[in-house]
Structure 1
Amino acid sequence: MSEESNGDESEAETEAEGEAAEEEQSADLEAIRTQLEALNDDLEGLQSDLEAAETEDDLDVVEADIEEFRADLEEIEIPEPPEEEEDEDEDDEESEPAPEEELQETYDEIESDVSDLEDDLEDKRGPYAGDVIGEIDGVSSTITGTRWAEEGDGELIDATEAFLADLNDLLGTSVSLPGGLEPASGAELGENGQEEKTVPDELGATLDEATAAVDAADLDPDEDAETIAGLLEATDEFESAVDDATEWTDLEVREQLRREGFFDVLDHIKDFPPELHALKVHEKRGNVDQILLAYDSLGSEFMEEHCLEALERMGPEEAIDPMVQKANRRDEAAIRILGKIGVEDDQVVDTLLDYVDSNPTLQRPSFRALGEIGAEDAIQPIADQLVADEPDVRSWAARALGLIGDTRAIDPLADVLEDDEQDRVRASAAWALNQIGTQDALEIVAEYEDDRAYLVQAEAENVDLEPAA
C-alpha cells in the first residue's frame, strides 16, 4: 500500500475520532441541560412549599428539602467552553454564546434563586423568645453604657416602668423596679461609705430580671406567636423612649460643669470667663478632679492652657493618664507636667523615651522630665546624647543625668567635662557631677578650680569634699 493511501486512512480515522468526541460532548451537555431543567421545576415546587408552610415544623421540612436541592445543584459541573480561534475575516458582529456559556448562565440563575429562597425561609421563621431577649439586652446595654443627665434618669425610669407593665401583662409576671428609685446625677455614697448603684445600674439589674422572665416563659414560636409579637412591639417602644431620653452630652458644657459642682466655689465673678475664676479657686484648694473636669470639658485653647498651667504647678498623680495621652501627641506642656508629677511609671517613662532622640524642641522638656522622675531606664539613652551635634542637646542631657543622680553617669560626664569644645556644656557636666554628689564625682569636679571657663570654676568651688579618713 502506498504512503499516500496510509495518509488518507490516518486522516479519516482522526476525523472519525473527532466526530465521536463532539457527539459525546454534545450528549454530556444535553444531559446537564436536562438536569438543570429538572432542578428548575423542583425549585418552583420548593417555592410553593415555602408559601404553604405555617409552622416551624413545616419550615424545617422545607429547609431540609432546600439543603438536598443545593447538594444536587453543586454536584453539577459545567465544562469550560472551548477557546475560540480568531478569524481576521470575521465580521464585527457578536458571535452566539457557546452551549457551555448558556448552561453556566442557567446554573447561576438557579443558584441565585435558591439563595433567595433560603433568605425567604429565614425571614418566615420566628419571631422567637430569643429575639425578645436580645432586644431587651440591647436596650439595657444602652442604658448602662451611657451617661445620662438627671432628667434623663427620670425619663429612663418612666420608660422602664411602661415596658415592665407591658411585659407583665403579656407574661403574667410581676417584674418591678426597686422601691424608692429616684433620679440622680451620679453615684452617691451610702451609709457604709461605699458607692451605691446609679439609676442605670438599677435599671440594668431589673432588665436582667425581665429577660429571665421571658426565658422562663418558654414561649413557643407557633403557639405563642402573638405574645412574642407583643413583646417585640413593647421592646421597640421601649427602645424609642430610651433613645429620646436626655443624655449628659445633650447638655451644654457650662451646664455640665454647673451640675458637676464646678461653679459652686464662686461667691462672685472676679475673672471673665467665670470658668477661669473657678479654675483658680479649685487650684488654690487642691481640687484636682475639678481641674481635670474642666480640662476634659472645655474646648477653648485659652482654658486648656490655663488648666495645663494649673496642673504643672500642682503636679498631681491623678493627671498621669490624660497627660500621657497628650504627651503622646508631642505636647510640650504635658511632658513638663509629667516631670513635675515625678512618678516613675512605666507608661510615663516609655512615652518620654520616645522623644530622647527626637527634635530639640521635644528633647529639652523630655530630658528634664526624665531627670525629675529619676528614670533609671533613661540613663543610657540620655548618655548617648552627650555626643549630639547640638551643644544645647549635650547640655540638657548632662543636666538630666545629674537630676537622675545615678553613678553610672560619672564616667561619661567626666569625659564631657574634659573634652567638650563648648564651655557651657562642660559647665553642665560639672553641675551634674555635683548633683550626683559621690566622693568620686566631686573629686573630678574639684580638679577644675583653675579652669578657663568661669562657670566651670564656679562648680568646682562649690565642691565640698569630705576629708580623707
Structure 2
Amino acid sequence: MSNGDDDPADASGEADAAGDAEDAADAGESTEAAAPTRPDEATEESLNEYLDEIAAHLDDAETEADLDDVDALLDDAEAGVEKADLPEPDEDDEDADDPRGDLESRIAELREGVEEARGPYGSDIIEAVETAAATLEDTEWTAAGHADAADAVRTFVDAAADAIDVEDGDDAEEVLDAAESEYPADTDEAADAAETPVEPADAVPIETLVTALDTVADAVADAELDVDHDADTISALLAATDDLADGLDAAEEWDDLETHEQLRAQGYYDVLGHYKDYPVEWAALKEHESRGNIDQILLALDSLTSDFMERHCLEALERMGKRGKTEASLEELLGRAEKRDQFAIRILGKMAATDATETLVEFVPENSNPQLQKATFKALGEIGATEAVQPLANQLASEGDTDELVQPLAARALGLIGDARAVDPLANILADAERDDDLRAAAGWALRQIGTREALEVVADHADEHSFVVSTEGEKAKRSLDASAAVA
C-alpha cells in the first residue's frame, strides 16, 4: 500500500522484479539462491567460505536431487583443495596449522551430513522386516512368547496393509487370517500356559508368521517407494517395523527363564514324589537314572553348572554304561573327550562306544600324560578297538620313565581287544626276563584273554617261573589247555 511518497520508478522496478519471479515460478524454475561456485583464487579463506556456502546449501536441501547437488559441490571443493597452493605444516611442530588437512576434514564432515540426510528408503523397510523374520526363526520361544510374537506380527501386517495400497499388502493379511482360522489360539490361555520350548499346538506356526513378513517385504519392493514422493508411507512403515522389533524383543524367549524354570518346564522334576536327598536336583537325577531317562540326565548336565551336579550326572552315565549310550550322550561325551577329559573317556569305555575309537587312539602315544594314557588304554580295551592294536603294541616296546606306569595297562587293553595280532608283541614281553614282573604278568593275562592255542601255550611255558605273578598266569594257561584237551 502507497503513502504518496513512493518513487514511481522504484515502484515500477519492484513490480518488474515480482513479475520476473512469477514468470520464473510459472516456468518451473527454482526461486532459491543459486548454488555456490568455487572461487577463482583458491586460498584457505576462500575455500572455507565456499564450504560455508555448501553447508548452507545442505541445510536447505529437501530432496534427494538437492543432496546430489551438494555431493557434486563437495566433489568440486575437493578438487579445489587438491589444486590449491596451500602452505604445508611444519613436520617438526606437532601443533603447526595444516590448512589442507583442515579443509579435507570439513569436506568429510559435510559428506557425512549428506549421507545422514538421505533416505529413509524402501530398502530400509525390507531390511528391517527380514531381520524380524530371522529373529522369529532363530529364537526359541516360550508358549507365552510365541503368542506375543504372533500378536506383534499381526499388528505389523495390519499396519503395512494400511500403508501400502497394493494387493500384496492384503495378501499378507490373508496369510495370517487363514492361519489363525486353522490355529485358533487363545492369547490369554497361551500366556497362562506352562512355559515350553516346543511350539504350542494351537498357535500359528512360526513358519507362517515368517511367510506373512516375507509377503510384506515383497509388497514393499513391488511398490517401488520413492524417497521424496512416498516419504510419509516410508515413515509409517518404518514406525511399524520399529514396533515389530520392540514387540519381538519384549516377547519371552526360552533363555529368559531361570534354570530351574527351564528344568521344570521340561519335566525334570516330574519324577519327584517324596524324597530325602537334597538338593532336589540330585534326588531327581537319581530317579532319572533308575528309569533310564538319558535325555533328562543330559539336560541336568547342560543346565546345572555346579561341580557337584556335574560329577553326579557323569557318574550316573558311568553306572549306566551301555544303557546310557545314545546319540546325544555320545555327542556330549565325545566333545569332552576331545578336550582330554579323563572322566568322559572312562565313561565312553563303559559304554563300549566304538565312535570314540578315532579320538582315543590319538591319545595313546602321549607319554607326557600317563594319567590320560591309563584312562585311554582301559577305554580302548573295553571298547574292543582293533584299530588300537598296533599303537598299543608300540607302547610295549617304548622305553622311558613313565612307560612302566602305563605299559601293564597297554598289555591288558590288548587282551581285552582280543586280536591275535597282539600275540607276538605280548609273547616278546613275557619272554624278556629283564622286564618288570608286573608287566610280564599283564602280558600273560592278556594272552590268556586272547585265548588261541598258540597264546595259551606261550603263557603255559612260564608256569615254573620264579616270579609268583608270572607263574600264576602260566598255571592258569596250562589248566585251560588241559581242559581243552579233555574236551577234545
Under a length normalisation based on structure 1, what TM-score does the superposition of the two structures give?
0.78
Please show how residues 300-379 of structure 1 align to structure 2 within 5 Å: 300-314=306-320, 315-317=324-326, 318-345=328-355, 349-350=358-359, 353-354=362-363, 356-357=365-366, 358-379=368-389
1:293 Cα offset (Å): 0.9
SS of 2:237's equivalent in the other structure is helix
1:352 Cα offset (Å): 6.1
Match of 2:221 among 210, 215, 218: 215
Q: 1:76 to 1:373 in 2, by over 3 A?
A: farther
1:136 Cα offset (Å): 1.9
Of the structure 1 ranges 379-388 and 255-264, higher mean CA displacement relative to structure 2 is found in: 379-388
- Contact in 1 for aligned 2:87/2:99 (Cα 8 Å): no
Which residue does the alignment assign to 1:392? 405
Which residue does the alignment assign to 1:237? 243
Under a length normalisation based on structure 2, what TM-score does the superposition of the two structures give?
0.75
1:456 equivalenced with 2:470 (yes/no): yes
Q: 1:456 to 1:186 in 2, by over 3 A?
A: same
Residues 402-455 of structure 1: CA distance to partner in whole angstroms, max 9, x if unpaired? 233334433332232222532111111122223333444333223212122233
Match for 2:196: what amino acid?
A: S
1:55 Cα offset (Å): 1.6
Match of 2:446 among 421, 432, 445: 432
Q: 1:96 to 1:370 in 2, by over 3 A?
A: closer
- Contact in 2 for aligned 1:159/1:241 (Cα 8 Å): yes
SS of 1:279's equivalent in the other structure is helix
Aligned-residue identity in percent: 44
Residues 187-236 of structure 1: CA distance to partner in whole angstroms, max 9, x if unpaired? 4799xxxxx99844443333222222222222111111111111111222
Return the alpha-carbon distance in structure 1 between the equivalents of residues 211 and 285 of structure 2: 38
1:422 equivalenced with 2:436 (yes/no): yes
Q: 1:436 to 1:385 in 2, by over 3 A?
A: same
Match of 1:155 among 148, 159, 168: 148
Return the alpha-carbon distance in structure 2 between the equivalents of residues 264 and 362 of structure 1: 38
Match for 2:375: what amino acid?
A: P
Which residue does the alignment assign to 2:302? 296
Please show how residues 139-150 of structure 1 align to structure 2 within 5 Å: 139-150=132-143
Runs of 5+ unmatched residues, structure 1: 1-32, 85-94, 191-195
SS of 2:354's equivalent in the other structure is coil
Which residue does the alignment assign to 2:24? none
- Contact in 1 for aligned 2:373/2:406 (Cα 8 Å): yes
Of the structure 1 ranges 124-133 and 165-174, higher mean CA displacement relative to structure 2 is found in: 165-174
Residues 216-260 of structure 1: CA distance to partner in whole angstroms, max 9, x if unpaired? 222111111111111111222222222222222222222211211
Which residue does the alignment assign to 2:12? none
SS of 2:252's equivalent in the other structure is coil
Which residue does the alignment assign to 1:281? 287
Return the alpha-carbon distance in structure 2 between the equivalents of residues 35 and 398 of structure 1: 90
Return the alpha-carbon distance in structure 2 between the equivalents of residues 96 and 309 of structure 1: 68
- Contact in 2 for aligned 1:335/1:352 (Cα 8 Å): no
- Contact in 1 for aligned 2:199/2:205 (Cα 8 Å): no
- Contact in 2 for aligned 1:66/1:118 (Cα 8 Å): yes
Which residue does the alignment assign to 1:228? 234
SS of 1:435's equivalent in the other structure is helix
- Contact in 1 for aligned 2:143/2:200 (Cα 8 Å): no
Match for 2:62: what amino acid?
A: E
- Contact in 2 for aligned 1:356/1:367 (Cα 8 Å): no
- Contact in 2 for aligned 1:353/1:378 (Cα 8 Å): no
Return the alpha-carbon distance in structure 2 between the equivalents of residues 118 and 403 of structure 1: 76
Match for 1:185: what amino acid?
A: T
Return the alpha-carbon distance in structure 1 between the equivalents of residues 64 and 462 of structure 2: 96
1:246 equivalenced with 2:272 (yes/no): no
Count of matched residue pairs: 416
Q: 1:339 to 1:68 in 2, by over 3 A?
A: farther
- Contact in 1 for aligned 2:271/2:284 (Cα 8 Å): yes
1:355 Cα offset (Å): 6.4
Q: 1:82 to 1:236 in 2, by over 3 A?
A: closer
Q: 1:204 to 1:339 in 2, by over 3 A?
A: farther
Return the alpha-carbon distance in structure 2 between the equivalents of residues 410 and 169 of structure 1: 83
Q: Indicate the RMSD between aligned Cα atoms, in angstroms.
A: 3.3
Which residue does the alignment assign to 2:116? 123
- Contact in 2 for aligned 1:399/1:429 (Cα 8 Å): yes
Residues 96-136 of structure 1: CA distance to partner in whole angstroms, max 9, x if unpaired? 98xxx64xx00110111111111111101100111112122
1:74 Cα offset (Å): 4.8
Return the alpha-carbon distance in structure 2 between the equivalents of residues 83 and 211 of structure 1: 55
Match for 1:462: what amino acid?
A: K
Return the alpha-carbon distance in structure 2 between the equivalents of residues 198 and 418 of structure 1: 75
Return the alpha-carbon distance in structure 1 between the equivalents of residues 94 and 313 of structure 2: 77
1:164 Cα offset (Å): 2.0
Which residue does the alignment assign to 1:50? 58
- Contact in 1 for aligned 2:384/2:417 (Cα 8 Å): yes
Q: 1:67 to 1:449 in 2, by over 3 A?
A: farther
